[in-house]
Amino acid sequence: MFPIRDENPHFLTPVVTWGIIGLNVLAWLTVQKLGSEAGLAHSLCDLGLIPGELLQLAAPGTSVPLTPHFTCVVDANPDRLTLFTHMFLHGGWFHLLGNMWFLWIFGNNVEDSMGHARFALFYLLCGLAAAGLQLAANPTSPIPMVGASGAIGGVMGGYVMLYPRARVHLLLWLGFYVTTVAVPAAFMLFYWLALQLIGGATGLGAEGGGVAFWAHVGGFVAGMLLVLVFRNPELVARHPFHGWRAPGARARPPGGFR
């Protein structure tokens, strides 16, 4: 299932969401050289988050082949700015495009709920929380981690707490048959979270690179919690789909059913 749009209107111009997308694309163009072998390898090694290096649990000098021609070597003096720089780098075209698409679909409404400055801080904190859980899950890894997925997971976690009833249109593949289906955001986003939990649990202890599932989980859970602090109730109230129950819905009376 792949989301193609939601039915949730937004009222503020999502300048921070646009800005984050722009920074990611700019990094891909200038720092990562459109994914060229040299550009990708140097960016991952110099600006990616290496758990074992940052926590100093991987032996300095440990080498990891990134491509047939480039090897990343664990440094004895980790750069803590990689906690932030890794959020704006990607491992390939599909990685970049997929992340930016998810950010656009869900980011504009979350930004709408808290305003521009709060959303920028919220996004960065979710990215840090995502990195933190991935570091805890694989603290000795010498393999660079890059991607906005953890921070975007936080945006998705925030979205599900704010607008669980908003309908999300999904592209659905059923063998050779392709169709679309609209489901509540809560269904789609908790299904996505379940996939990350399964992927993380089955990958525990595995060696080598791959998807940073625990970063996705960490970001998502952080977003669910942080949005309760960062949201502006007046901005949220403008949305027709905010909250778990439709406006005017009657609560179940105590002591029985009717």
pLDDT digit string (tens) for 198-253?
Answer: 998 886 655 555 688 999 999 999 999 999 999 999 999 998 888 888 766 554 44
- State residue 247's pLDDT score: 66
Helices (H), 60-205: 82-85, 93-114, 116-137, 149-162, 185-202
Residue 173 binned pLDDT confidence (cut-offs 50, 70, 90): confident
- State residue 257's pLDDT score: 41
Q: Tell me the percentage of the chain whose pLDDT exceeds 90.
A: 81
200 phi/psi in degrees, rounded to 5: -65, -40
DSSP 3-state assignment of 49? strand
CB 46 within 8 A of CB 27: no
- State residue 258's pLDDT score: 39
Q: Tell me the percentage of the chain whose pLDDT exceeds 70.
A: 92
- State residue 240's pLDDT score: 87
* C-alpha 9: how far from chain center: 21
Residues 86-138 pLDDT 10s: 999 999 999 999 999 999 999 999 999 999 999 999 999 999 999 999 999 99
| Stretch 143-162: mean pLDDT | 97
- Tell whether pTM > 0.85: yes
204 phi/psi in degrees, rounded to 5: -60, 130
- Give residue 180's identity as a one-letter amino acid code: T
Compute, in degrees rounded to 10, the torsion defined by CA atoms 214, 217, 221, 226.
Answer: 70
| Stretch 57-79: mean pLDDT | 92
Residue 68 binned pLDDT confidence (cut-offs 50, 70, 90): confident
Lowest mean pLDDT among 87-96, 144-153, 184-193, 201-210: 201-210
- State residue 209's pLDDT score: 56
| Stretch 8-23: mean pLDDT | 96
- State residue 1's pLDDT score: 73
Q: Which domains does the chain have, with CATH numbers?
A: 2-236 (1.20.1540.10)
Question: Average pLDDT of the chain?
Answer: 91
Report the distance separating Cα 87 and Cα 81, nearest Å: 11
- State residue 230's pLDDT score: 98
Q: Sort strands 71-73 and 167-174 into parallel, antiparallel or unpaired.
A: unpaired
